[in-house]
């Protein structure tokens, strides 16, 4: 079945550091891929998405490229801020509308 694997956290960075959170997936067909962010005490917010191979999703300085050859959708940001501290979830959607989530990666950014 479909699944998502993402790196365990927490990821601890200093402000302005470069961020990478790895995400790989297993799926049949051609899934859509997503990154969601969850700030403390809140629900999930869609951060970015990509619907086909080689698409790059981007938002708020974050970006991720849909790599079919490596079945990956790694999240990157060139310079993180304290306000980026949150839990980041990689997810995929296959033939149905259901979302399958990774386990989440907690990012902690210190000034």
Q: State yes or no: residue 69 binds another protein (CB under 8 A).
A: no
Of 65 and 93, which CB lies nearer to another protein in the complex structure? Answer: 93
CA neighbor of 7 nearest in space, from 30, 19, 24: 24
Smallest distance, another protein to C-beta of residue 107, A: 14
Distance separating alpha carbons of residues 58 and 43, to the nearest angstrom: 20
Q: State yes or no: residue 94 binds another protein (CB under 8 A).
A: no
Distance separating alpha carbons of residues 93 and 106, to the nearest angstrom: 22
Among 1, 29, 97, 111, binds another protein (CB under 8 A): 97
Of 6 and 63, which CB lies nearer to another protein in the complex structure? Answer: 6
Stretch that binds another protein, among 30-38, 52-60, 62-70, 72-80 (CB under 8 A): 30-38
* Kind of pairing between the strands at 105-110 and 86-93: antiparallel
Of 16 and 46, which CB lies nearer to another protein in the complex structure? Answer: 46
Q: How far apart are the first and last CA of the chain?
A: 41
Among 2, 5, 22, 32, binds another protein (CB under 8 A): 32
The CB-side HSE value for 103 (13 A sphere, CA atoms) comes to: 7
């Amino acid at each position: 079945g479909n699944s998502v694997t993402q790196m365990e956290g927490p990821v601890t960075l200093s402000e302005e550091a470069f961020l990478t959170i790895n995400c790989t997936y297993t799926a049949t067909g051609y899934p859509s891929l997503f990154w969601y962010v969850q700030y403390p005490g809140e629900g999930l917010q869609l951060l970015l998405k990509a619907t086909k191979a080689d698409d790059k999703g981007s938002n708020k300085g974050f970006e991720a490229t849909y790599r079919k050859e490596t079945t990956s959708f790694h999240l990157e940001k060139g310079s993180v801020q304290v306000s980026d501290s949150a839990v980041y979830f990689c997810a995929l959607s296959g033939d149905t509308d259901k979302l399958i989530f990774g386990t989440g990666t907690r990012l902690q950014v210190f000034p």
